[in-house]
Structure 1
């Protein structure tokens, strides 16, 4: 394999010179020529969170568990299968979009020095990691203009309600933001209900919400649309947390039916108050509005406790002055928000607090998916209600994100 650095400008140009649907194929072809590999392709993580799919050949799939591409995705490192193929994670700010798969040229394995762990030598692995990181931004940019990647992600057809519901979710389910990492996941029921989660990081504030609109199918999706966009509209006008809750409540009262309402938790953290690595302990205070929603779980020093119980009526029931409550967060703490689908009767055997405690050493991205997977194994195929989770890990000022390839190197 060629040792010269890949010309990132040429890589971007190759992606720009073709239709957005062909951007990754063009980039892969350019990599084949510049790296001297036999072939290169992009494996995209599917919407169900179980497999990696070749975006050019949706029939070609690799499970996340028990395969080399899946190991590269979960561990966020370049993996060599020993048979001439290497897999590097395509990740942006911790959001694992997929895998760059390449077949090394004949003799490359024999000629290249190996690392201590038997994988590719550090120089080759580092080059593939850097290229894969650049590919992540190509994916993000081109997803806006084509359905190619979205379609490849789907292992089953979406109902109209689920299509609407998916559009309400943030574009990235994971974000590493320096002082925090946040990861969400939604497991829809057969008749998609109105569960959603959202987050946004501004220069000085992290805002996160998780909401559950009453009902199922299209009516729930439409009610969720009203709720989420009322919250976003207020937030983008500069409204504070209670004003955002008031805006959603007013919108539901004005436009919803008498029996239509939503529950929700709204959370806000002042990112300027976390100190720095040379200053304070990194402790911060999260402000929370809970409108008729299940409380949160807080993992602190290995112990899980219930926090943020409901302290306001549901959204859309009557006029109300919304009240906040506070949660103290220390570096290393994890806060799990969830919808009531996680507590449906068939999930009674699911120890959610235990799952949060037992996964403390995993990246929040993997925790959110593993909790969802364990939930599905517990309830079986007949999920009666949507189940959504949003996990926040607070790093504070005591740590800083360290990355060269799209994910925090410390995890």
Structure 2
């Protein structure tokens, strides 16, 4: 009996996506936009827009480019593009003159890059399937070409950015990561002037490694310290195992470079995403908040540890166990130390009140919920952000990984 022949002929979808992939490899960044528009036209799409998130996470701004439709920025809240971006879902809007305007989230892995908008005369399930895959390819192309150009940065920047903020944004990992067991999201304020705050994370096997830091001072001095301490953290993460060793390595890096009159507060965590076991070292930072079913249930306490750079003793590691659905909110002191009209600090109690109030609303996912919290806190502070104010949230679900992704 002869071996059954596998059909390897090129179908319509492969021809469309494969053609884009083949051509994008050699194209300079400025020609990616017309290539995308050409690919969408191949399935009858028109008025193609690529919308990228601005740094303040308030607007989705159109990427300029030949053959792209460049309209006005769309608000992240209360717009079809914003709903597609924040809910990570396709939004379809029937047009008065006929046709359907589609908004597709651009996902590079699990990080949202932006939104692709286009208009079709009619839409069926074949169109939806192919467009979702096309959007994934477009996201990968944008992320790859972003490394070679300032074009995408300039589109996202809505006001002048300080040198220290440029340094910090260049230091950050993706603002969002989502896998079945855990999701994370972070946000920095003031987006265009941030200096000493930063965060970093990595998922290595079943362990989520996390650091949130706040370097003393302002402007370039703080940005330089943040750069060195994050660099030291990443090096230690890739060499050492324990949180105590990470702390010691970061401490030595700051003290040797800046002396004992400079310091960085830090929060270091290991989270086993399969079991929910959390290890915590808190070096002069506000304690993280444990949120369960939308309500803050307690602070995650840890043994007292000196800030990084003061040559503290080996820190004692505090262990906690999360339940499925728990969220952990990390924040820097710029959130709670901002002064109101009467000179009073914003305070942890008001932070918890805002978290609890928003926790009673339907959730749109970690990134959307954290963005809503950040903007609510800023509104409560009457727009004041005189110091860096960073939020970072972890949502743990647990469970086994997809067995198809596990190699024997």
Same fold per superposition (TM over 0.5): yes
Aligned counterpart in structure 2 of residue 307 of structure 1, from 294, 300, 308: 300
| 8 Å contact kept, 2:160–2:192 | no
User: Which residue of structure 2 aligns with residue 293 of structure 1?
Assistant: 285
Unaligned runs of 5+ in 2: 1-10, 341-345
Q: Could you tell me how far 1:360 is from its partner in structure 2?
A: 6.8
User: Which residue of structure 1 aligns with residue 262 of structure 2?
Assistant: 260
Work out whether 1:73 is the aligned partner of 2:85.
yes
| 8 Å contact kept, 1:189–1:384 | no
User: Which residue of structure 1 aligns with residue 202 of structure 2?
Assistant: 200
| 8 Å contact kept, 1:294–1:309 | no
Q: Could you tell me how far 1:196 is from its partner in structure 2?
A: 0.5
Q: Could you tell me how far 1:139 is from its partner in structure 2?
A: 1.5
Distance 1:263 1:270 in 2: 24
Distance 1:125 1:401, change over 3 A: farther
Work out whether 1:317 is the aligned partner of 2:310.
yes
Distance 1:235 1:24 in 2: 38
Q: Could you tell me how far 1:236 is from its partner in structure 2?
A: 1.7
RCO greater where, 1 or 2, for CA within 8 Å and sep 6 or more?
1
Distance 1:47 1:400, change over 3 A: farther
Aligned counterpart in structure 1 of residue 103 of structure 2, from 58, 65, 87: 87
Q: State the Cα deviation string for residues 350-384 of structure 1 (Å, max 9, x = none).
A: 43431563357330011121111112211233311
User: Which residue of structure 2 aligns with residue 228 of structure 1?
Assistant: 230
| 8 Å contact kept, 1:337–1:389 | yes
User: Which residue of structure 1 aligns with residue 149 of structure 2?
Assistant: 146
Distance 1:5 1:70, change over 3 A: same
Q: Could you tell me how far 1:17 is from its partner in structure 2?
A: 3.1
Aligned counterpart in structure 1 of residue 367 of structure 2, from 362, 365, 386: 365
User: Which residue of structure 1 aligns with residue 187 of structure 2?
Assistant: 185
User: Which residue of structure 2 aligns with residue 37 of structure 1?
Assistant: 45
Distance 1:48 1:59, change over 3 A: farther
Distance 2:299 2:190 in 1: 25
User: Which residue of structure 2 aligns with residue 408 of structure 1?
Assistant: none
Please identify, of 346-355 and 298-307, the stretch whose mean Cα deviation from structure 2 is larger: 346-355
Q: Could you tell me how far 1:302 is from its partner in structure 2?
A: 4.7
User: Which residue of structure 2 aligns with residue 115 of structure 1?
Assistant: none
Distance 2:134 2:191 in 1: 38
Distance 2:85 2:144 in 1: 21
Distance 1:63 1:191 in 2: 22
Work out whether 1:98 is the aligned partner of 2:114.
yes
Instruction: State the secondary structure of the residue aligned to 1:322.
Output: coil
Distance 2:403 2:71 in 1: 36
Instruction: State the secondary structure of the residue aligned to 2:364.
Output: coil
Aligned residue pairs total 375
Distance 1:258 1:141 in 2: 41
Distance 1:292 1:60 in 2: 44
Please identify, of 325-334 and 354-363, the stretch whose mean Cα deviation from structure 2 is larger: 354-363
| 8 Å contact kept, 2:197–2:390 | yes
Distance 1:399 1:299 in 2: 24
Work out whether 1:61 is the aligned partner of 2:73.
yes
Q: Could you tell me how far 1:189 is from its partner in structure 2?
A: 7.0
Please identify, of 358-367 and 212-221, the stretch whose mean Cα deviation from structure 2 is larger: 358-367
TM-score by length of 2: 0.85
Distance 1:122 1:358 in 2: 35
Q: Could you tell me how far 1:21 is from its partner in structure 2?
A: 3.4
Distance 1:184 1:356, change over 3 A: farther
Q: Could you tell me how far 1:93 is from its partner in structure 2?
A: 3.1
Q: Could you tell me how far 1:241 is from its partner in structure 2?
A: 1.4
Distance 1:189 1:214, change over 3 A: farther
Superposed CA RMSD in Å reads 2.4
User: Which residue of structure 1 aligns with residue 135 of structure 2?
Assistant: 132
Distance 2:354 2:244 in 1: 29
Q: Could you tell me how far 1:257 is from its partner in structure 2?
A: 3.7
User: Which residue of structure 2 aligns with residue 280 of structure 1?
Assistant: none
Unaligned runs of 5+ in 1: 110-119, 275-282, 403-411
Distance 1:330 1:356 in 2: 20
Q: Could you tell me how far 1:301 is from its partner in structure 2?
A: 4.3
Distance 1:355 1:401 in 2: 38
Instruction: State the secondary structure of the residue aligned to 1:155.
Output: coil
Q: Could you tell me how far 1:41 is from its partner in structure 2?
A: 2.7
Work out whether 1:164 is the aligned partner of 2:157.
no
Distance 1:396 1:260 in 2: 39
